[in-house]
Amino acid sequence: MKKAVAGLGMAAVMAMAQIPPPAPARKAAAPAPKAAAPKTTGAATASYKDLKYPPPKPIVTPSMEPVTLANGMRVFLVEDHDAALISGMAVVRTGNLFDPKDRVGLAALTGQAMRTGGTRTRTAEQLTVLLENMAATLDSGIGESWGTVSFSGLEENADALLRAFQEVLTEPEFRQDKVEQARQQLRAAIARGNGDAAAVLRREFTNTVYGKDTPYGWPLEYAGLDRITRGDVQSFYQRYYFPKNTMVAVWGDFDAVQMQAKIAKLFAGWTAEQAPVAEFPKVSGVAAAGTFLAKNSEPTLTQFAMGALGGESRDGDFAALEVMGEVLGGGAASRLGRLLKPGPGIRIGASWAANFDHPGLFQISGSVPTFETVKAVRLARAETAGMRSAEVSEEELKAAKERLLDRLAHAFDSKAKAIERLMTYEYFGYPKDFAQQYQKALEGVTRADVLRAAKERVDPDKWTLVVVGNPITFDEPLDKLGAPVTPIDLKTVAPKPAAVLADEAERQRAKDLLARAQAAAGGSEKLAAVKDYTLEASFQFDSSAGGMQVTETDRWMAPSHFRQDSAMPTGKISAYTDGASGWITTPQGTAALAGLQLKQVQGAAFRAFFPMLLSDRTVGRAVKAVNDRTVEISDKSGQVVRLATDPETGLPESARYETATATGEVAVTETYSDYRETGGLKLPFHISITAGGQNYAEVTVKSFQANTGLQVKDLEKRP
C-alpha cells in the first residue's frame, strides 16, 4: 500500500524551506546582457508574468441555516459525502475577557478541564479509551472571546461520538486532580514565557497597547492562578454553558433530517437557564505611547514591535487598510521587507489586523541584527510615514491585492475552514456573505483609498514601541529615538539546578582538593575578596600555529564580566561578554558575539583563574573529583574543565578542556608553572598550551593587579 511520505525525503523539503529569502529587488544590480536573448514565442518560453488570469472565483461557502431546538440551542448541519467522516463544533459565548481580575487564567483552566476532567458518568481515562478505540478526537478550550468543544471521527461511530460530545459539553465533572493538572500546565506556560523572545514581545506589545489595566492586557500570573478553586471552575462553567448561549455545527456524511432529530433528542435534557451573557468589555484605554524595553541576553537578534490599535473587520476602510499594511510590510518584496540585508532570522514586516468585535493591532514588527536595532526602527518609521504622504504605485497595489485575495481563497480551502468561518460570522453578528462582500471590497480598493485610509488611521506619533533585546549590543541607545525608555520587568524564573549531579562523596573530595588549592593560592578569604583583576600577558604561538606574538590584556569583574584585548600583528581584537552575550571588534568591524566566538569567550571567562578555584562556592557550578588530584568543574551552559592539582603543593598544575572550533572540538591542555606571589595571591606566571596534542602557545604573564575598581561601563565600552 502506498505510504504518504517515506520520511527520508523530508530533509530536502526542509532544505528548501531554508533557502534564504531573495535578494531585494531594488538592489538587484543585474549585469546587463550584451544582447537581448533570442526571443521565441509559445508555451515553451513564455514568461509566467505575462499570464492573464481570470478574476478570482467568488468564495464558496456552504449554506447553513440554523435550527433552534426547544431548549434554545442553535444547530447548523452540513452534509458532506466526500468521505465517511463526521465532525462537529460547539461555540459558547464566553472567554478569558470574563476572567475575574484576581483569578486570571480561570477561563483557560475551565476550557481545558472540561475534557480532561471527565464527565459525570465517565472518567477522563475512560473517555480516552473510548476515543482511541474509535480513532476519534474530542477537544475543549476557551480562548479570548469564545469557548469551543469539537470532535471528529468515523461516520459509523456517529452515535457514540455525539454522546461523548454531549457529555463533555453539558455535564463535565472537573475532577479535582485534573483541575490541578491543568493548573500545573498553565504554571509551566508562565515559566516558559520569558524564555522565548518572540513570545515575550508578542505578550508585552499586546498587553501594553490594549492597556495592562484592562481585561485585554491583564497578564497571567502565579498568584491569580493559585487562587482558583474547583468551585470557581464549576461556577464559571455554569454561568456560561447553557443552551441559549450555545451554537453547534455538525458536518459530514449523514442525512441532515435524521441528524437533526438525533441531536434534538440528545440535547433535550439540557435545560440549564442563566441570565443572558453581557457584551464583551470595550477596549477603552488609550494605548501607552512611548518606548518599552525588555532586556535579555540574545546575542545576535533584537525583536521589536511598534504600532497602535487597528480596527474592526466591519470598518468601511478595512480592505484599504489591509492593502496598506500589505504594501508596507507583507513579505520580502514589500517596502519594509527590502530595508535590511537578508540573513538567517532577519525579518521585518507589517500588518493591519482587525477583530470582529474590537480593534485589532496595526503593528510593524521585526527581528533584526542587534547592531542595527535603532537604525531598523528609524527606517521602518520613515517607510510608514511615507504611506501617508504619497499614493502607492499601481504595481504595488495590484500585487498586494492579489496576495490578499489569494490568502482569502486559501482561508476557505476546506469545508471545515469554511464552516468555522461562517460560525464566526454568526457569532459576532456579521452577514453570512461577509467573505464574498469582503472579496469584492478588496478587488475595488484604489490607490486613493489606500492613501486616504493611511492618512486617517496611521499616526506614528502615537505609537507604542516594544523592544526585546540586549542593549549593550545596540548600535545606539534606544532613547535616541526620541522617547524616554521604560524598562519592562521580566520576572525571573528560579534557576535550574546545575547540570552535573555528582554523588556526595565525589563532591566532597572535589571540595577538599579545591580547599587545598585555595589555601595554597592565598586562602579562600583572600580569593573571594578579588572582585576584579587586570592581567597582561604575552602569547608566543608555536610555529605550527602561525608563530605570531600577541600581547593580551584580560579584565575580569565579578560575577562574570570578562574582556579581552589582543594586540595582534594584523590589528587589535577586543571582545566582551557579560557571561551570556557580548560583542567582538576586529579590524573588519564590530559584531555581536555569536556561535563559536561566543562559546570561546565564554569559555575563557569560565576558566578565569581565581574564580575557577572558587567553583565549589559559585552558584550554578558543579564540582566533582575524577581522581585523587583532579576536579571536574562544569556549569549548566555546558562548559567543563578538569583541573589537576599538584599533590606536593596543592596548587593547580594543569587545566584540560575542549574548545569549539570551526572544524570541531579540540582538546586543550594548559600547564601552569612559575607560581609567583602578588598581593598575597599566588598565580602562575607561565602557561604552556597544547591543542589537539600539538604545542600551541607559550604564555608569559607580564603583570597582574587585583581590585583596582574596574567598572562595567569601562569593560563594555567598545573601542
Partner 1 sequence: MRVTGWGVLWCLGAAWLPAQNLSEFQRKVTEFTLPNGLHFILMERHDAAVIAFHTYVKAGSVDDPVGQTGLANLVSRAMMKGTETLGTRGWEGEKKALDAAEQAYERLQAERNKGLRADAGKAGVLDTQWRMVLEVAQTWVDPNAYVRAIEDSGGTELSLKPLPDATEYGYTLPSNKAELWFLLESQRLTHPVFREFYRDRDLVLQEHRANVEGKALPRVQAALMATAFEAHPYRNPPDGWPSDVANLGVADAQAFFAKYYVPENMVMGIVGDIDPAGARLLADKYFGGIPARPAPPHRHTEEPPQLGMKTAVVGAAPQGLMAIGYKRPDERSRDDAVLDVMQALLSGRTGMLQGELVEKGIAQMAVAQATFPAGREPNLFVFLLAPAAGHTLDDVQNGLNGVLGQLQNRPVSAEALARAKAQIRVGALRRLENNADLAALLPAYYAGYGDWRNLFRELDDSSKVTVEAVERAAIRYFTPVNRTTVYLAAESRGEALPGRTGGQQ
Any contact of residue 431 with partner 1 (CB under 8 A)?
Answer: no
Question: In the window 515-544, what residues touch partner 1 (CB under 8 A)?
Answer: 544
Residue choice 85, 124, 305, 379 for contact with partner 1 (CB under 8 A) = 85
Residue choice 68, 284, 694, 711 for contact with partner 1 (CB under 8 A) = 694
Please check whether residue 695 is in contact with residue 712, taking contact to mean a CB–CB distance below 8 angstroms. Answer: no
Residue choice 600, 602, 615, 654 for contact with partner 1 (CB under 8 A) = 600
| Residue among 620, 618, 625 nearest 643 (CA) | 625
Q: Which is nearer to partner 1, 2 or 120 (CB)?
A: 2
Residue choice 288, 405, 567, 568 for contact with partner 1 (CB under 8 A) = 405
Any contact of residue 27 with partner 1 (CB under 8 A)?
Answer: no
Any contact of residue 286 with partner 1 (CB under 8 A)?
Answer: no
Choose one: 23-31, 234-242, 303-311, 610-618; the region binding partner 1 (CB under 8 A).
Answer: 23-31
Neighbouring residues of 222: CB distance < 8 A, sequence distance ≥ 6 = 187, 190
Any contact of residue 570 with partner 1 (CB under 8 A)?
Answer: no
Measure the CA–CA gap between 630 and 506, rounded to whole angstroms. Answer: 11
Choose one: 94-102, 105-113, 151-159, 291-299; the region binding partner 1 (CB under 8 A).
Answer: 151-159
Q: Which is nearer to partner 1, 189 or 333 (CB)?
A: 333
What DSSP string runs through 38-74? Answer: PP--STTT--GGG--PPPPPPPP------EE-TTS-E
Terminal alpha carbon distance of the chain: 66
Residue choice 120, 410, 496, 713 for contact with partner 1 (CB under 8 A) = 410
Any contact of residue 681 with partner 1 (CB under 8 A)?
Answer: no
Distance of CA 539 to CAs 99, 201, 533, 562, 677, Å? 64, 44, 19, 18, 21
Q: Which is nearer to partner 1, 225 or 625 (CB)?
A: 625
Please report how close the Cβ of residue 58 comes to partner 1 at its closest, in angstroms: 8
Choose one: 15-23, 97-105, 210-218, 555-563; the region binding partner 1 (CB under 8 A).
Answer: 15-23
The strand pair at 347-352 and 664-678 is best described as unpaired
Binding mask 153-192 for partner 1 (x = CB under 8 A): xx--x-----------------------------------
Evaluate the omega torsion of the peptide bond into residue 215 and state whether it is cis, within 30 degrees of 0. Answer: no
Binding mask 38-57 for partner 1 (x = CB under 8 A): ----xxxxxxx--x-xxxxx
Please report how close the Cβ of residue 79 comes to partner 1 at its closest, in angstroms: 12
3 state DSSP class of 16: helix
Any contact of residue 569 with partner 1 (CB under 8 A)?
Answer: no
Amino acid, res. 480: K
Measure the CA–CA gap between 514 and 585, rounded to whole angstroms. Answer: 36
Any contact of residue 33 with partner 1 (CB under 8 A)?
Answer: yes
Any contact of residue 413 with partner 1 (CB under 8 A)?
Answer: yes
Please report how close the Cβ of residue 351 comes to partner 1 at its closest, in angstroms: 17
| Residue among 701, 668, 702, 705 nearest 686 (CA) | 701
| Cell numbers given for 38 | 533570442
Choose one: 128-136, 192-200, 483-491, 675-683; the region binding partner 1 (CB under 8 A).
Answer: 128-136
| Residue among 276, 285, 125, 277 nearest 215 (CA) | 285
Any contact of residue 2 with partner 1 (CB under 8 A)?
Answer: yes
Q: Which is nearer to partner 1, 87 or 470 (CB)?
A: 87
Query: Is residue 31 packed enough to be buried (19+ CB in 10 Å), middle (13-18) or exposed (0-12)?
Result: exposed
# binding residues, partner 1 (CB under 8 A): 89
Any contact of residue 666 with partner 1 (CB under 8 A)?
Answer: yes
Please report how close the Cβ of residue 164 comes to partner 1 at its closest, in angstroms: 15
Q: Which is nearer to partner 1, 377 or 575 (CB)?
A: 575
Measure the CA–CA gap between 84 and 297, rounded to whole angstroms. Answer: 53
Residue choice 102, 121, 129, 394 for contact with partner 1 (CB under 8 A) = 129
Choose one: 288-296, 414-422, 464-472, 487-495; the region binding partner 1 (CB under 8 A).
Answer: 414-422
3 state DSSP class of 269: coil
Q: Which is nearer to partner 1, 50 or 504 (CB)?
A: 50
Question: In the window 316-335, what residues touch partner 1 (CB under 8 A)?
Answer: 331, 333
Choose one: 80-88, 351-359, 486-494, 570-578; the region binding partner 1 (CB under 8 A).
Answer: 80-88
Q: Which is nearer to partner 1, 350 or 517 (CB)?
A: 350
Any contact of residue 414 with partner 1 (CB under 8 A)?
Answer: yes
| Residue among 123, 134, 103 nearest 223 (CA) | 103
Q: Which is nearer to partner 1, 91 or 418 (CB)?
A: 418
Residue choice 70, 83, 198, 519 for contact with partner 1 (CB under 8 A) = 83
Distance of CA 57 to CAs 323, 653, 695, Å? 19, 79, 73
Measure the CA–CA gap between 566 and 553, rounded to whole angstroms. Answer: 6
Phi/psi of residue 254, nearest 5 degrees:
-145, 175
| Residue among 618, 613, 582 nearest 600 (CA) | 582
Q: Which is nearer to partner 1, 222 or 425 (CB)?
A: 425
Question: In the window 206-235, what residues touch partner 1 (CB under 8 A)?
Answer: none
| Residue among 286, 283, 450 nearest 352 (CA) | 450
What DSSP string runs through 359-426? Answer: --EEEEEEEEEGGGHHHHHHHHHHHHHHHHHSPPPHHHHHHHHHHHHHHHHHHTSSHHHHHHHHHHHH
Residue choice 399, 435, 453, 710 for contact with partner 1 (CB under 8 A) = 399
Q: Which is nearer to partner 1, 545 or 712 (CB)?
A: 545
Q: Which is nearer to partner 1, 231 or 587 (CB)?
A: 587
Any contact of residue 60 with partner 1 (CB under 8 A)?
Answer: yes
521 CB-side CA count, 13 A:
30
DSSP state of 228: -
Q: Which is nearer to partner 1, 60 or 505 (CB)?
A: 60
Please report how close the Cβ of residue 681 comes to partner 1 at its closest, in angstroms: 30
Any contact of residue 409 with partner 1 (CB under 8 A)?
Answer: yes
Distance of CA 325 to CAs 148, 392, 440, 602, Å? 31, 11, 18, 42
Phi/psi of residue 348, nearest 5 degrees:
-150, 135
Please report how close the Cβ of residue 659 comes to partner 1 at its closest, in angstroms: 7
Please report how close the Cβ of residue 29 comes to partner 1 at its closest, in angstroms: 9
Residue choice 177, 255, 456, 665 for contact with partner 1 (CB under 8 A) = 665
Any contact of residue 696 with partner 1 (CB under 8 A)?
Answer: yes
Number of alpha helices (DSSP H) and beta strands (DSSP E) in the chain: 20, 27
Residue choice 139, 232, 402, 536 for contact with partner 1 (CB under 8 A) = 402
Amino acid, res. 589: G
Q: Which is nearer to partner 1, 22 or 386 (CB)?
A: 22
Which alpha helices (H) appear in 501-655, and where do they start and end?
504-520, 524-528, 595-606, 609-613
Any contact of residue 3 with partner 1 (CB under 8 A)?
Answer: yes
Any contact of residue 19 with partner 1 (CB under 8 A)?
Answer: yes
Any contact of residue 30 with partner 1 (CB under 8 A)?
Answer: yes
Q: CB pairs under 8 A, 24+ apart, for 480-486?
A: 480/374, 481/291, 481/374, 481/377, 481/378, 483/289, 483/290, 483/291, 484/290, 484/291, 485/291, 485/292, 485/293, 486/290, 486/291, 486/292, 486/293
Any contact of residue 547 with partner 1 (CB under 8 A)?
Answer: no
